Structure 1
Amino acid sequence: MSVADLFSVDSEQPGVMWRWRRRLWQWKEEMLAECRALLLDVLLFPNDHSGATTDAELVWHKQVPLKISVFALRFLQDRLLTKTNLIARRVLSNDMSLCVAGCGHPETAQHLFLLCNTFGSLWHMVRGWIGCSGVDADNLSDHFLQFTYLTGGAKSRRSFMQLIWLLCAWVVWNERNNRLFNNVITLISRLLDKVKMLSLTWLKAKKATFVFGTQQWWSCPLVCLGIG
């Protein structure tokens, strides 16, 4: 059963019928509550004949941890605590808006993930690793959809690219927070290594027959997946 199915069980109180075999830890209860709150803003419709997919649907992936899907939904709805959003809420003053990469631009979600010369370069490096080319859209939702279809329309390819996009966004946000709160800077080439390692870890966790090691994965991920 999908997240959408669970959410729509009770039309009077959406999401209240979710059930779990074991009692959730406190941090998972908090994450679930946040997920329900986010879903209240989402309208789900049956696919039409065009087969169009929305970014709200793409954030849910069976091989991606729930907390990252919730993060991605907040990100696409511009609900992350970026500096510009904190200024709009009067948490920060106007003179504290600049991106942590030192590029001199205000830290909006769009800038941080796509337009920043530092963090935005990760997408180019990831495409180089996978072996595909493309031009980045400057809109977050369009970028997500475009990236998902970069290697073709086959389901297995779309699923992999979807996972990689979600992972890249998560890696960038964590690096932003490390720079802001811990004064720790990681080279973008090392962030690419994180994307490679975490994607391999996620795939192995959900597929016991996935036997490829880091050397093969680092060299040709699509071949390892049998879709190269």
Structure 2
Amino acid sequence: LYPRLFAISSHPHATINELGVWVNGVWRWHLEWRRSFFVWEEELYGQFMRVVESIILSHEEDVWEFAFDRGGGYTVKVSYLSLCDKLSPPSISSLRAVTCRVVDCVWDSWAPSKVLVFSWQVLLGRLPTRVNLGRRGVLPSSEQRCCHCDVGCLETEDHLFLLCPFAWNIWMEIYKWFGLVEVLPDTIGGLFPAFFKALKVPKKKHKGVVMLWQAVVWVIWKTRNDTIFAQKPRNVHEVVDKIKHMSWQWLLAKKSKSPCLFYEWCIDPLYCIIS
């Protein structure tokens, strides 16, 4: 900040302890210079001294202090909550009480770890969707449209995973798979608890329900990438079949003691989860 003063200091590499003395418990600076100040340097020196004299020194031993929890020290939980406060978009922050409960649930699942992280990003609006890439200056506004529909909607998380006709039909097929007919909410964050409520699974078996929800959003995202980068054709029934097969594989990996056959999974997934 003060390169000129540093250049004319007699001890530019000295420690603070070498640049002053304690007088009656008060630190007094004792700085030495190689020459007298020019007129304009005196004003610079005055600014410098006002800065350093505002710093209160003490004899106490230095300690590390975690800024977000000055009393209890560093913890992963406090770090996580602090990051949520900083990174959550306004739409998430305004619904903090509800959202925290929803986001916390994504970790209690039978899905693979990478899918858990992915679903967490979905609910927080942190995926590299075209709209998010546009906010970062990666894509122009003309290239932020959904790749699945022809109505020209922006590719947000809510649109891509729920409101797009392609995604909407997938969810309708998933609900039909469970023998349900439901009115879907208008946000992907709202669909998460609604999915639990519709299936009415015991709390001990919630991991399987979370896994199913995560399988749907995961396959929708993979299909979106295949459409954009590989120009692969999309088909609702093929996507639903892929969701069933992938979720069944995840189920087998976590429930090796009571596995179910794939045709059983396709006929009655709830029984396979609960049993």
Give TM-score scaled by structure 2 length: 0.63
Say yes or no: does 1:134 pair with 2:177.
Answer: no
CA change 1:37–1:182 in 2 (3 A) is farther
TM alignment of 1:198-209, pairs within 5 A: 198-209=246-257
Structure 2 CA distance for aligned equivalents of residues 42 and 204 of structure 1: 37
From 164, 171, 176, the equivalent of 1:116 is 164
Partner residue, 2:235: 187
Deviation at 1:214, TM superposition (A): 1.4
Partner residue, 2:134: 87
TM alignment of 1:58-77, pairs within 5 A: 58-77=105-124
Structure 2 CA distance for aligned equivalents of residues 74 and 151 of structure 1: 24
Compute the RMSD of aligned alpha carbons: 2.7
Structure 1 CA distance for aligned equivalents of residues 201 and 241 of structure 2: 26
AA aligned to 1:202 is W
CA change 1:72–1:219 in 2 (3 A) is same
Structure 1 CA distance for aligned equivalents of residues 217 and 81 of structure 2: 18
AA aligned to 2:102 is D
Structure 2 CA distance for aligned equivalents of residues 225 and 158 of structure 1: 9
CA change 1:225–1:68 in 2 (3 A) is closer
Q: SS where residue 122 of structure 2 aligns?
A: helix
Q: Which runs of 5+ in 1 are unaligned?
A: 1-10, 17-35, 44-51
Structure 2 CA distance for aligned equivalents of residues 98 and 170 of structure 1: 20
Partner residue, 2:84: 41
Deviation at 1:157, TM superposition (A): 5.2
Say yes or no: does 1:154 pair with 2:197.
Answer: no
Number of aligned residue pairs: 192
Structure 2 CA distance for aligned equivalents of residues 156 and 197 of structure 1: 23
Deviation at 1:194, TM superposition (A): 1.2
AA aligned to 2:149 is G
Give yes or no for contact 1:133–1:150 (8 Å, CA) kept in 2.
Answer: no
Give yes or no for contact 1:203–1:210 (8 Å, CA) kept in 2.
Answer: no
Deviation at 1:62, TM superposition (A): 4.0
Give TM-score scaled by structure 1 length: 0.75
Q: SS where residue 118 of structure 1 aligns?
A: helix
AA aligned to 1:184 is K
Structure 2 CA distance for aligned equivalents of residues 179 and 12 of structure 1: 48
Q: SS where residue 54 of structure 1 aligns?
A: helix
CA change 1:39–1:158 in 2 (3 A) is farther
Give yes or no for contact 1:38–1:74 (8 Å, CA) kept in 2.
Answer: no
AA aligned to 1:182 is A
AA aligned to 1:88 is R
AA aligned to 1:171 is V
Q: Which runs of 5+ in 2 are unaligned?
A: 1-71, 87-98
AA aligned to 2:119 is A
CA change 1:175–1:155 in 2 (3 A) is same
Partner residue, 1:166: 214
Q: Deviations over 1:174-225 (max 9, x none)?
A: 1111111111123111111111111111111111122321112111212333
Structure 1 CA distance for aligned equivalents of residues 84 and 100 of structure 2: 17
Structure 2 CA distance for aligned equivalents of residues 187 and 156 of structure 1: 34
CA change 1:39–1:180 in 2 (3 A) is farther
Q: Deviations over 1:17-61 (max 9, x none)?
A: xxxxxxxxxxxxxxxxxxx87983169xxxxxxxx9811111112
Structure 1 CA distance for aligned equivalents of residues 201 and 248 of structure 2: 22
